[in-house]
Structure 1
Amino acid sequence: MADTGTSKSWERCMGNWLIVPKGTSLARRTRTRRAAQYVRMSRELQRYSIKNQLAAIASYEANTLTIVRTYADEGRSGLRIKGRPGLIELIDDVQSGQADFDHILVYDVSRWGRFQDVDESAYYEFLCKRSGVQVEYCAELFKNDRTFVSGIAKSLKRGMAAEWSRELSVKVHAGHCRVVSLGYRVGAPVGYGLRRLMVDESEHPKGFLEKGQFKALQSDRVRLQPGSGEEAAVVRIIFDQFVNDRKSYSDIRRQLNDAGIANHNGRPWTDGMIPTILANENYIGKTIYNRTSRRLGQKLVKNPDHAWVRGAAAIEPIVDPSIFARAQKLLAERRVEIPEDEMLVRLRLTLRRRGKLNSHIINTTLGLNHVSSYVKHFGSLRKAYALIGYKSPRDCDWIDTREHWASEQARHATELAEVLRNDLGLRPELAPDGIGVDVEGRRVVSFLVARRLARRGEDHAAQWKAYRRQISSGLLAVMRLDAANREIEDYALLPASLRSGRYVWLASGSLRRHRGALYRERGALFAAIKATLAKTNRADPTSSASPKKQSKPGRPKAKGFGGRRSRCGDTKSLR
């Protein structure tokens, strides 16, 4: 009987074990003790690198949590969430219910963000908490357990992180101002006819810096140097035509382009470049700093003249100071401030005469401000049009959805970087423009969005257009949109040897001509990119390129654009 009683008791216990308690979520139980890790580093010289953060997180509760996902923002500032695709993707996964983890591991409060509004940092943590995901700060002394003490500690840490950014911004700005006052250059871009010379702390030259290059040591400094003699002659001719001949910006720009003279970027000149050169004090031997500023990730603002920092005798003058002073006087006379009401009145009169409005009409009509002026005063051309009761026939839906597709490009680039890191063992980084992936400083893939153009009639083949952004290297992964330009229809992978240009045009039958391939799913696209990069990595990196064909003696290769021979040295052709 004892055996029978024991058997019945055992059966009752087994029956109870098979009963799932009311309110228990099996899906939630399957992801318990699973964690994702978020790491961020704003610059390479930072103390806590990505590897250090990963090592510290790995040792945090290593026996109780399993890390299943990694979200990373490399080279991203923590002042704002904009431009941090890793954190954006993390919060999107948590809110959408796609997260297969219950914990988020972060090195410390500052890695979550140095938001200037501490409530913003708390808000993003609250979004995760509301979705049942707990945020843990691994290197902090307090436990994020929702107690009064942890709340006070987090508020103090968030305030300290924000204050650290403010103090650092003030110190960096003061240091830049002092460096400029000593005659050195701060900032990378330079104007036409100027070059950046890197010198050590003893003023010994170390070499010229090309576009996109920066000094490697903090003790090094950068001085400005005049460019070639031909470039200096072009600068003097621009000032002479503007001051003595009273030529307009368009006339000067047209003569430069007709002479085959490229600007400092190797491209044709535009009207806006001429006044920029005429107002550049570098040409009279001065360095200028703090003309504009963008403090702590805020909007770019123009500073008043008395806030500018000048370094005298920093460069050998290219233009005579008297000619430069006369040019500044003419620039001031050409700039006439018109009230906003008057700007709208003139725009309305132009609409009545021309019957329509667009950027070309506004820029070519005498008495009207430039399009950029209307955008600055009213926010956009469409807002200015609305104030005068005009609706443009142009389809502006693409402009309204630009931010959405920019985030999609960043999301695709982030996911591809994670795939390349895990599957190929590469060390990919997100490109500075946020739409591509770099490996060892070289662009390997760029994501473009191609909108489908409206076609008249059913007989016309579908056509897509994507803005290329001067990208000239790496694969092009083009996201082709559907007929409504609302969803991604498919993906086209194009080779790096595609002919350069501002736009990429794709039609139904043009992939074979471009030597591209079409993929319906994102996974298939990533697999093709992996295969291409793996094949490239297997090739011998030390193999020398095929020797270039030598040009015939006595016939130098022509330079310039548009297929015309450059006549940069022939400055008489501009007169």
Structure 2
Amino acid sequence: MVNALVIRRNTQLAKTQKALRAAQYVRMSTDLQRYSIQNQAAAIAAYAQQRNLTIVRTYVDEGRSGVRINGRAGLIELIEDVQSGNTDFDHVLVYDVSRWGRFQDVDESAHYEFICKRNGIKVAYCAEQFDNDGSLLSSIVKNIKRVMAAEYSRELGVKVHAGHCRIAGLGYRVGGPLTFGLHREMVDEKQRSKGKLATGECKALKTDRVRLRLGSEEEVAVVRWIFQQFVVERKTYVEIARQLNRVNVANHHGRPWTDIMIQAILKNENYVGNLVYNRTSRRLGQKLVNNPQHLWVRSAAAVDPMIDQDLFARAQKIMAEQYISIPEDEMLRRLRLTLARKGKLSDGIIRNTAGLPSPQCYVKHFGSIRKAYALIGYKASRDCAWYDARQHWADVLSKLAAQVAEALRTELGLQLHLREDGPSLALNGTRNIISFRVARQPPRKSASRTSQWRAHLRKMRSELFIVPRLNDANKLIQDYVIVPKSDNAKPYLTLSDASLARHRAVRVETLDELIAEVKARFISSGHVAPAKPTPQNKQKKPSQLKKQERSRTALKDRPNFRGHVRESRTARA
């Protein structure tokens, strides 16, 4: 790893001292480039010594592609520090233009450099033959270098894709996750086995190849049983998954089965011996697209078949007949006829009416079920104002999360980042530490009934929940409730005044009181204190020992699936 002097953040330095301090950004594309980071650091160190610069900060992206910024934690942290003013340096040293990024849009590369320049920080490319001083010559050469870096990635992507298609056509496995009942085997150029590859392992040499092999006999029996249940017994995906979970048969991820997993197995041609590649593609980090069938690369007899061709074809026919495509005007006509017969519409009526598409299908085609209602001139009696205000409250929660994160960063030095998948703050970019949810009041049946608030947790895992409670009209924030981590398995959390003690929750009136309470909790929990060393011989708690004993008992009593299949077939006979 790169060695750099670590300076405490938020240190106020004189302008003359700050001008002689620099941060370095280093990146390598793959883990196979073992010495790339060290080589970049050596060149940057020589550049800094010639100009009397002291490297005080290091931002690193190891094994990360430069095509886009997503996943590059080092560059993201650098840009965030620059934008927030949390820097104690005036220069950013990069090995060359391609290490900064191989963005397919060269304006994106220039944008991140402009952010640094706008905040008074100069970006220098140490191995380039030009100084990044803003002159006409340097601007022209730098832009050409950016185009060359982007074009290199594009050409390399085309060559790699062509090579993968050729290898897949020869019957070898090329990337992609495996489904249940299969495993990968590494072979050399003479087709001699070199052992089974575990999850996450790659082949050792470029001349080695990967073939698919059948899994254990129990896994093969499960796959055959799934096809038998679907084709012969005409069971649905959900029924098959429920029966597998009932007899404690885990999937290849060690988790319970779902209907989506069952459908994926029934569609997989690997079980009849075919290897199919290039069904989908994602070129240079762009949107995933479904390729037409004439672009698919299919290799027959590449895997030992475990399912008969006739049984597989019958399964494909059944799945194809499950979905019938009808035009949107016909969907609306059927919905209008249902309204005339029933007098009203709801999700339950749509779902239980024969010949009518599902509510999800109407949402997919028209954007929402209310828009479909509007197109046929029907207005539902249900109050949907809350759905219209969801984006507004999402913006409010994001702003609240940013204020809390800034307060904890300024006063406690905690680096919390806003997650993209929702209003949550993550510590070190990994686990959720604080989640934000809005609690609204459902309509009260009587005026004498006490006020209740309900928040949707969405099965979030977090150490702390900050829940703004809305007023009677659900228009403004009335107060804030801080709820610690709970083992509540319900998707909704009810927060009335009487239930706060049961949830170990604390209610505050203002935002300042909220921030003060959160800071006090973080200080008392030890998040800002140095971590204590873990004892070497730590005694296990009695609850842990009991949990392990229950796991061993459950494993010992787990039924044999192959025996279960034989028993069910005998019972049917």
Question: What TM-score, normalized to structure 2?
Answer: 0.70
Alignment partner, residue 286 of structure 1: 274
1: CA distance between counterparts of 2:68 and 2:276?
29
Return the match for 1:161 from 138, 145, 149.
Answer: 149
- Quote how far apart the aligned CAs of 1:432 are: 13
- Mapped pair 1:235 → 2:223: yes
Are the aligned partners of 1:491 and 1:522 in contact in 2 as well (CA < 8 Å)? no
| Offset from partner CA, 1:86-119 (integer Å, 9 cap, x none) | 4345444444555554333222212222111112
Superposed, which structure 2 residues align to 1:322-361 within 5 Å? Answer: 322-346=310-334, 353=342, 355=344
Code of the residue aligned with 1:557 in structure 2: it is K
Task: Decide whether aligned partners of structure 1 residues 168 and 449 sit closer, same or farther in structure 2, where only a CA change above 3 A counts.
Answer: farther
Code of the residue aligned with 2:31 in structure 1: it is E
Superposed, which structure 2 residues align to 1:196-207 within 5 Å? Answer: 196-201=183-188, 202-207=191-196
Alignment partner, residue 101 of structure 2: 113
| Offset from partner CA, 1:535-556 (integer Å, 9 cap, x none) | 3x54328999998977899996
Superposed, which structure 2 residues align to 1:488-567 within 5 Å? Answer: 508-509=500-501, 520-521=517-518, 525=522, 528=525, 534-535=531-532, 537-540=533-536, 557-559=556-558
2: CA distance between counterparts of 1:108 and 1:133?
17
Superposed, which structure 2 residues align to 1:91-240 within 5 Å? Answer: 91-95=79-83, 97=85, 99-192=87-180, 194-201=181-188, 202-210=191-199, 213-215=200-202, 217-219=204-206, 220-240=208-228
Are the aligned partners of 2:171 and 2:299 in contact in 1 as well (CA < 8 Å)? yes
Are the aligned partners of 2:439 and 2:467 in contact in 1 as well (CA < 8 Å)? no
- Mapped pair 1:38 → 2:25: yes
Superposed, which structure 2 residues align to 1:396-411 within 5 Å? Answer: none
Code of the residue aligned with 1:178 in structure 2: it is R
1: CA distance between counterparts of 2:161 and 2:456?
42
2: CA distance between counterparts of 1:479 and 1:241?
44
- Mapped pair 1:454 → 2:440: yes
| Offset from partner CA, 1:314-372 (integer Å, 9 cap, x none) | 322111001112222333333322223434554566677585655x7766654444566
Task: Decide whether aligned partners of structure 1 residues 355 and 464 sit closer, same or farther in structure 2, where only a CA change above 3 A counts.
Answer: same
Alignment partner, residue 4 of structure 2: none
- Mapped pair 1:61 → 2:48: yes
Structure 2, unaligned runs of 5 or more: 1-12, 471-475, 506-514
Range 349-358 or range 157-166, more displaced: 349-358
Code of the residue aligned with 1:454 in structure 2: it is R
Are the aligned partners of 1:409 and 1:447 in contact in 2 as well (CA < 8 Å)? no
2: CA distance between counterparts of 1:525 and 1:43?
37
- Quote how far apart the aligned CAs of 1:397 are: 5.5
1: CA distance between counterparts of 2:553 and 2:90?
73
Task: Decide whether aligned partners of structure 1 residues 318 and 117 sit closer, same or farther in structure 2, where only a CA change above 3 A counts.
Answer: same
Question: What TM-score, normalized to structure 1?
Answer: 0.70
Alignment partner, residue 395 of structure 1: 387
Alignment partner, residue 16 of structure 1: none
Task: Decide whether aligned partners of structure 1 residues 460 and 412 sit closer, same or farther in structure 2, where only a CA change above 3 A counts.
Answer: closer
CA RMSD of aligned residues (A): 5.3
Structure 1, unaligned runs of 5 or more: 1-25, 424-430, 560-564
Are the aligned partners of 1:490 and 1:519 in contact in 2 as well (CA < 8 Å)? no
Are the aligned partners of 1:177 and 1:289 in contact in 2 as well (CA < 8 Å)? yes
Code of the residue aligned with 1:204 in structure 2: it is S
Are the aligned partners of 1:519 and 1:525 in contact in 2 as well (CA < 8 Å)? no
2: CA distance between counterparts of 1:89 and 1:345?
54
1: CA distance between counterparts of 2:89 and 2:527?
27
- Mapped pair 1:570 → 2:564: yes
State percent identity of aligned pairs: 47
Are the aligned partners of 1:465 and 1:504 in contact in 2 as well (CA < 8 Å)? yes
Aligned residues: 520
Are the aligned partners of 1:33 and 1:102 in contact in 2 as well (CA < 8 Å)? yes
Task: Decide whether aligned partners of structure 1 residues 233 and 141 sit closer, same or farther in structure 2, where only a CA change above 3 A counts.
Answer: same
Alignment partner, residue 18 of structure 1: none
